[in-house]
């Protein structure tokens, strides 16, 4: 989320470099595909370097959505010391500006991808359209056809990406159901999926949603302030001809990794920028992860994606489809206002894990969400200062969150 603040300040800067130049700048060495445990495609070395040396198997697949996006999906099929099969598949979906790497940056005792694998799950780590690992389309080149390629928000991720990934996993594993877990935007995508494609309710046994976001009326801090300028930012982006921001360009990557490396005197600035966006928690934040967080991001986002979230923060507390304006809404929805997502269609048992100090998934918004769902359980993290990023990278995330979350999921499986 350091990148979220940078996004609004550096939109013009981001247009300077292409993803190809980024790869050349990074100079990432190739990983021998024989060291992996399944079909692989490029890129993937970053995930490979994070997972394979720690003693875990890694597979990579490409999944094509119905609207033509090609998604990279990683899999940790079993843990380090237990290779027993079959296992229950679980999707672990990242948030905005993030990738599948978010779940394997930490050491195996705390990285949720590893923890779930060691707890008996078949772990699947998808990458949403347009991020570092999923910047491909059957028709459009993201460097040339920017207007067409980046014409999506989290709606399309829920409506197209998740169904394609779920269908692929169930076919590959020969299972009829799976578990879903997501963080931040990864929960928003889930709510879109289960409300607009209700047939997928039967394919998800249970869901563990961390820092769940459907409503943003109660967002606090820097993000809330910036969201007030959503309309201005949209006009600026159109004027500059920008449709995506903060892809992993050489300039942005250099800024992130230089300012946030362990030896940099500016590393505390990186920490405080994160806190200003997500809530202050210097006790639980693992500063040693900052260089890895900076190295893996930013993964990019579409302008429309950010605008949709901005609309949620300023629409009077509604979980709405994208607002195209009165005329555009008539064309898209046959009404002059965007419809609300019908959360009453969601029948999946859901555990809503939330923190009191989360400035994005605010407590009141989570409570409102809980009241709209048919089968949800509120699970408050006990540490009062637990913030939005602690769900991934807190020092004591196992004892504060993961151990109980996994126990609750296993209880659902026994039902």
Residue showing tokens 């697949």: 61
> What string of DSSP letters covers 3-29?
HHHHHHH-HHHHTT--HHHHHHHHTPP
* Dihedral of alpha carbons 34, 36, 41, 46, sign: negative
Distance CA 360, CA 223 (A): 8
CA atoms within 13 A on the CB side of 186: 28
**Residue listed under structure tokens 């009141």:** 364
Strands 136-137 and 244-245: unpaired
412 is catalytic: no
Yes or no: say if 208 and 181 are a contact pair by the CB < 8 Å rule.
Answer: yes
How many angstroms separate the CA atoms of 370 and 95, rounded? 20
119-158 as b/e, with b when 16 or more CB fall inside 10 Å? bbbbbbbbbbbbbbbbbbbeebebeeebeebbebbbbbbb
Separation between Cα atoms, residue 36 and residue 236, nearest integer Å: 44
User: Which is catalytic among the residues 155, 183, 353, 388?
Assistant: 388
> What tokens appear for 272 in the block?
């405080």
94 phi-psi bin (left φ>0, alpha ψ -120 to 50, beta other)? beta
Phi-psi region of 44 (alpha: psi -120 to 50; beta: other; left: phi over 0): left
Cα(138)–Cα(189) distance, rounded to whole angstroms?
A: 22
- Catalytic annotation on 155? no
Q: What is the distance, to the nearest Å, from the Cα of residue 387 to the centroid of all Cα atoms in its chain?
A: 16
Options 184, 195, 299, 302, the catalytic residue = 184
The closest alpha carbon to 243, from 102, 127, 141, 162, belongs to: 141
Q: Are 148 and 142 in contact (CB under 8 A)?
A: no
DSSP string, 38-107: S---SS-HHHHHHHGGGT---EEEEEE-TTSEEEEEEEE-S-SS---S--EEEEEE--TT--GGGGTSS-
What single-letter DSSP state applies at residue 317? S
Catalogue the active-site residues: 184, 388
């Amino acid at each position: 989320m350091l990148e979220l603040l940078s996004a609004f300040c550096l939109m013009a800067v981001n247009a300077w470099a292409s993803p190809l130049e980024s790869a050349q700048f990074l100079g990432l060495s190739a990983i021998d595909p024989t060291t992996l445990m399944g079909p692989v495609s490029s890129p993937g070395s970053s995930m490979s370097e994070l997972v394979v040396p720690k003693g875990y198997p890694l597979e990579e697949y490409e999944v094509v959505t119905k609207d033509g996006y090609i998604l990279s999906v990683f899999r940790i099929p079993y843990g380090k010391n237990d290779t027993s099969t079959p296992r229950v598949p679980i999707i672990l979906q990242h948030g905005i500006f993030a990738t599948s790497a978010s779940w394997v940056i930490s050491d195996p005792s705390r990285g949720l991808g590893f923890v779930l694998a060691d707890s008996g799950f078949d772990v699947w780590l998808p990458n949403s359209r347009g991020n570092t690992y999923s910047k491909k389309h059957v028709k459009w080149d993201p460097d040339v056809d920017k207007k067409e390629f980046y014409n999506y928000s989290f709606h399309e991720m829920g409506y197209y990406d998740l169904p394609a990934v779920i269908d692929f996993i169930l076919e590959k594993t020969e299972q009829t159901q799976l578990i879903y877990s997501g963080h931040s935007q990864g929960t928003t995508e889930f709510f879109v999926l289960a409300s607009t494609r209700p047939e997928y309710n039967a394919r998800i046994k249970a869901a563990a949603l961390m820092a769940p976001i459907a409503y943003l009326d109660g967002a606090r801090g820097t993000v809330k302030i910036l969201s007030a300028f959503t309309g201005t930012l949209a006009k600026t982006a159109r004027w500059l001809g920008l449709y995506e921001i903060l892809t992993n360009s050489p300039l942005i990557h250099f800024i992130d990794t230089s300012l946030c490396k362990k030896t940099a005197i500016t590393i505390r600035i990186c920490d405080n920028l994160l806190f200003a966006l997500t809530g202050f928690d210097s006790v639980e934040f693992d500063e040693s992860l900052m260089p890895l967080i900076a190295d893996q991001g930013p993964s990019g986002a579409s302008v429309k994606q950010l605008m949709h979230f901005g609309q949620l923060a300023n629409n009077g507390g509604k979980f709405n489809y994208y607002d195209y304006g009165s005329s555009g809404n008539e064309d898209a929805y046959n009404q002059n206002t965007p419809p609300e997502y019908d959360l009453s269609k969601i029948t999946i048992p859901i555990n809503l894990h939330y923190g009191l100090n989360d400035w994005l998934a605010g407590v009141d918004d989570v409570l409102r969400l809980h009241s709209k769902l048919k089968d949800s359980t509120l699970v408050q993290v006990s540490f009062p200062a637990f913030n939005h990023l602690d769900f991934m990278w807190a020092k004591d995330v196992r004892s504060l969150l993961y151990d109980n979350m996994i126990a609750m999921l296993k209880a659902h499986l026994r039902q």
